Chain A
Amino acid sequence: MKHSTWRDLLLSALPPALTFVVVVALWEGVVRAFAVPKFLVPPPSDVLIAVWTERASLGGALLTTAQGAGVGFLLSASLGTSVGLAFSLSRWLERGLYPYALFLQTVPIVAVAPLLVLWFGPGLRAVSVSAFIVSVFPIIANTLAGLRSVDPRLSDLFRLYGAKLGDTVLKLRLPTAIPSMMTGLKVASGLSVIGAIVGEFVAGFSEGNAGLGITVLSAYRQLRTDLLFAAVLLASLLGLSLFALVSSLSTLLLRRLRAPG
Chain B
Amino acid sequence: MLQDIDLVIEAGSFVALLGPSGCGKSTLLRFISGLDTPAAGSVVLSPKADEAQASAAAKLAFVFQDAQLLPWRSVLDNVALPLELQGYGRAQARERARGPLAEVELGDVHERFPDQLSGGMRMRVSIARALVTEPSVLLLDEPFAALDELTRQRLDERLRKLWQARRMTVIFVTHALAEAAFLAERALVMSRRPGRIVLDHALQLPEDRTLELRTNLDFVAQTALLYRSLSQHGALDDAQHGA
Q: Which residues of A contact B (CB under 8 A)?
A: 151, 153-154, 156-164, 167, 171-172, 175, 256-259
Besides the contacts A154-B68, A259-B71, what 17 more A-B pairs have beta carbons closer than 8 Å?
A153-B68, A154-B70, A156-B64, A157-B64, A157-B68, A160-B61, A161-B82, A161-B133, A164-B85, A171-B81, A171-B85, A172-B70, A175-B70, A257-B71, A258-B71, A258-B72, A258-B114
Contact B58 A156 (CB under 8 A): no
Contact of B113 among A158, A159, A172, A258 (CB under 8 A): A258
* A259 and B72 in contact, given A156-B35, A162-B58, A162-B85 (Cβ under 8 angstroms): yes
Q: What are 18 sample pairs from A and B whose C-beta atoms fall under 8 A apart?
A: A156-B62, A156-B64, A157-B68, A160-B33, A160-B34, A160-B60, A161-B82, A161-B85, A161-B133, A162-B58, A162-B85, A162-B86, A163-B85, A167-B84, A171-B81, A171-B84, A175-B72, A258-B72
- Cβ distance A181 to chain B, nearest Cβ, rounded Å: 14
Q: How far does the alpha carbon of A127 sit from the alpha carbon of B99 in the complex, in Å?
A: 58
Contact A153 B64 (CB under 8 A): yes
By DSSP majority rule, is chain A's interface helix, strand, loop, or mixed? helix
> Which residues of B from 39 to 66 have beta carbons under 8 Å from A?
58, 60-62, 64, 66
Q: How far does the alpha carbon of A157 sit from the alpha carbon of B66 in the complex, in Å?
A: 12
Interface size on B, residues (CB 8 A): 22
With an 8 A cutoff between CB atoms, is B207 at the interface?
Answer: no
What residues of A have a CB within 8 angstroms of the CB of B58 in the complex?
A: 162
With an 8 A cutoff between CB atoms, is B95 at the interface?
Answer: no
- Cβ distance A45 to chain B, nearest Cβ, rounded Å: 51
Q: Mark B86-117, 1 if CB is under 8 A from A, else 0.
A: 10000000000000000000000000011100
Q: How far does the alpha carbon of A172 sit from the alpha carbon of B33 in the complex, in Å?
A: 21
Contact A256 B72 (CB under 8 A): yes
What residues of B have a CB within 8 angstroms of the CB of A154 in the complex?
A: 68, 70
Contact of B85 among A151, A167, A175, A258 (CB under 8 A): A167
Q: How far does the alpha carbon of A171 sit from the alpha carbon of B71 in the complex, in Å?
A: 11
Contact A160 B68 (CB under 8 A): no
What residues of A have a CB within 8 angstroms of the CB of B64 in the complex?
A: 153, 156-157
- Cβ distance A158 to chain B, nearest Cβ, rounded Å: 6
Measured CB to CB, the nearest residue on chain A to B58 is: A162
What residues of A have a CB within 8 angstroms of the CB of B61 in the complex?
A: 160
Contact B70 A160 (CB under 8 A): no
What residues of B have a CB within 8 angstroms of the CB of A156 in the complex?
A: 35, 62, 64
What residues of A have a CB within 8 angstroms of the CB of B81 in the complex?
A: 161, 171
What residues of B have a CB within 8 angstroms of the CB of A153 in the complex?
A: 64, 66, 68
What residues of A have a CB within 8 angstroms of the CB of B82 in the complex?
A: 161
Measured CB to CB, the nearest residue on chain B to A155 is: B35
Measured CB to CB, the nearest residue on chain B to A258 is: B71
What residues of A have a CB within 8 angstroms of the CB of B85 in the complex?
A: 158, 161-164, 167, 171
Residue of B71, B72, B114 most packed against chain A (CB within 10 A) = B72
Measured CB to CB, the nearest residue on chain A to B71 is: A258
Measured CB to CB, the nearest residue on chain A to B133 is: A161
Q: How far does the alpha carbon of A257 sit from the alpha carbon of B114 in the complex, in Å?
A: 11
Residue of B72, B85, B115 most packed against chain A (CB within 10 A) = B85
What residues of A have a CB within 8 angstroms of the CB of B86 in the complex?
A: 161-162
Measured CB to CB, the nearest residue on chain B to A172 is: B70
Residue of A151, A161, A162, A172 most packed against chain B (CB within 10 A) = A161
Q: How far does the alpha carbon of A159 sit from the alpha carbon of B37 in the complex, in Å?
A: 14
> Which residues of B from 143 to 165 have beta carbons under 8 Å from A?
none
Shortest Cβ-Cβ A-B pairs, 10 listed: A161-B85, A163-B85, A257-B72, A258-B71, A161-B82, A153-B64, A175-B72, A156-B35, A153-B68, A258-B72
- Cβ distance B136 to chain A, nearest Cβ, rounded Å: 14
Measured CB to CB, the nearest residue on chain A to B64 is: A153
Contact A160 B35 (CB under 8 A): yes
Contact B62 A157 (CB under 8 A): yes
- Cβ distance B56 to chain A, nearest Cβ, rounded Å: 13
Q: How far does the alpha carbon of A157 sit from the alpha carbon of B81 in the complex, in Å?
A: 10
What residues of A have a CB within 8 angstroms of the CB of B68 in the complex?
A: 151, 153-154, 157
> Which residues of B from 112 to 127 have beta carbons under 8 Å from A?
113-115
Q: How far does the alpha carbon of A157 sit from the alpha carbon of B129 in the complex, in Å?
A: 11
Q: How far does the alpha carbon of A167 sit from the alpha carbon of B64 in the complex, in Å?
A: 21
Measured CB to CB, the nearest residue on chain A to B35 is: A156
